[in-house]
Amino acid sequence: MPFPLPPNPREPGRWADVAVADRQAGVPSEPAPGAPAPALVSLNGVCRTVRNRRRGDVEILRGVDFQARAGQVTALLGPNGAGKTTTLTIAQGLDRPDAGTVELLGRDPWRAGSALRSRVGVMLQDGGLPPSATPARLLAHVASLYRAPADMAALVERLGIGEFAGRDIRRLSGGQRQRVALAAALAGRPRVVFLDEPSAGLDPVSRQLV
């Protein structure tokens, strides 16, 4: 498979590239041993209302507060329509709140440039993958966009993508597409990864892999 060679931990230049990318993005440095983990994602008092043709103004979010810290998994739980996807979209800087403040890696994601976005991985709930591409070509292309990409061969093996890596994405099952989307989200060694319904459509075996 045409994946880039995996980074070698003994090659300081490759790991230095990750540090350079963090500095260019203004990402907070790693805390000293024993120090509290920094909040990489922070929402305070976030509100969002959208206009619906039939229902008028619909309040999606009201006063949302939460923080996601380095080295932790933060889950948003709630029923359908609770505003989970809207919250993630605002945290990523793809939508703007009507009120409140949002920080992603210490900066306002709405005004962020490409340097900051390169340190963030996103896995959408559905879609986002080109149907005519194969996982092998897509992941090799995504990895080539980053200064210090992840070990894509290891990701492919861990997520069990190799068995269908040469098949068009349009021919994959929903669970297989989810695995490809996750690998793409992790390709840039992101400091923060947003996963929207990562286990949707996965069978029990695929869920364990993810």
Domain boundary among 87, 104, 121: 104
- CA–CA separation, 156 vs 165, rounded Å? 8
Number of domains in the chain: 2
Categorize the per-residue pLDDT at 18 as very low, low, confident or very high, splitting at 50, 70 and 90.
low
2 and 54 together in one domain: no
Q: Is the pLDDT of residue 2 over 50?
A: no
Evaluate whether residue 191 is within a structural domain. yes
- Write down the pLDDT at residue 33: 61
Question: Among 41, 173, 22, which Cα is nearest to 105's?
Answer: 41
Is the residue at 32 inside a domain?
no
* Confidence category of residue 114, pLDDT binned at 50, 70, 90: confident
132 and 209 assigned to the same domain: yes
Question: What is the Cα gyration radius of the chain?
Answer: 18
How confident is the model at residue 22, as a pLDDT?
58
Same domain for 143 and 64:
no
The answer to whether residues 175 and 196 belong to one domain is: yes
**Which pTM was predicted?**
0.78
What letter represents residue 37's amino acid?
A
What's the average model confidence in pLDDT over 82-102?
95
Residue closest to 181 by CA, chosen among 147, 210, 154, 144: 210
The answer on 58 and 10 residing in a single domain is no
CATH at residue 173:
3.40.50.300
Q: Are 210 and 123 contained in the same domain? A: yes
Looking at the fold, whether 118 and 195 belong to one and the same domain comes out as yes
104, 131, 158 - which closes a domain: 104
Residue 54 is part of which domain span?
A: 38-104
Average pLDDT over the chain, rounded to whole?
84
- The pLDDT value recorded for residue 207 is 72
Range scoring the smallest mean pLDDT among 13-17, 26-30, 106-110, 115-119? 13-17
Q: What is the DSSP string of the chain?
A: --PPPPPPTT-HHHHHHHHHHHHHHTPPPPPPTTSPPPEEEEEEEEEEEEEETTTEEEEEEEEEEEEEETT--------TTSSHHHHHHHHHTSS--SEEEEEETTB-GGG--HHHHTTEEEE-SS--S-TTS-HHHHHHHHHHTSSS---HHHHHHHTT-GGGTTS-GGGS-HHHHHHHHHHHHHTT--SEEEESSTTTT--HHHHHH-
Residue 135 lies in a domain: yes
Based on the fold, state whether residues 119 and 149 are members of the same structural domain: yes
Looking at the fold, whether 71 and 6 belong to one and the same domain comes out as no
Are 134 and 171 in the same domain?
yes
Closest CA to 151 of 56, 18, 39: 18
Do 83 and 155 share a domain, yes or no?
A: no
Q: Are residues 82 and 182 in the same domain?
A: no
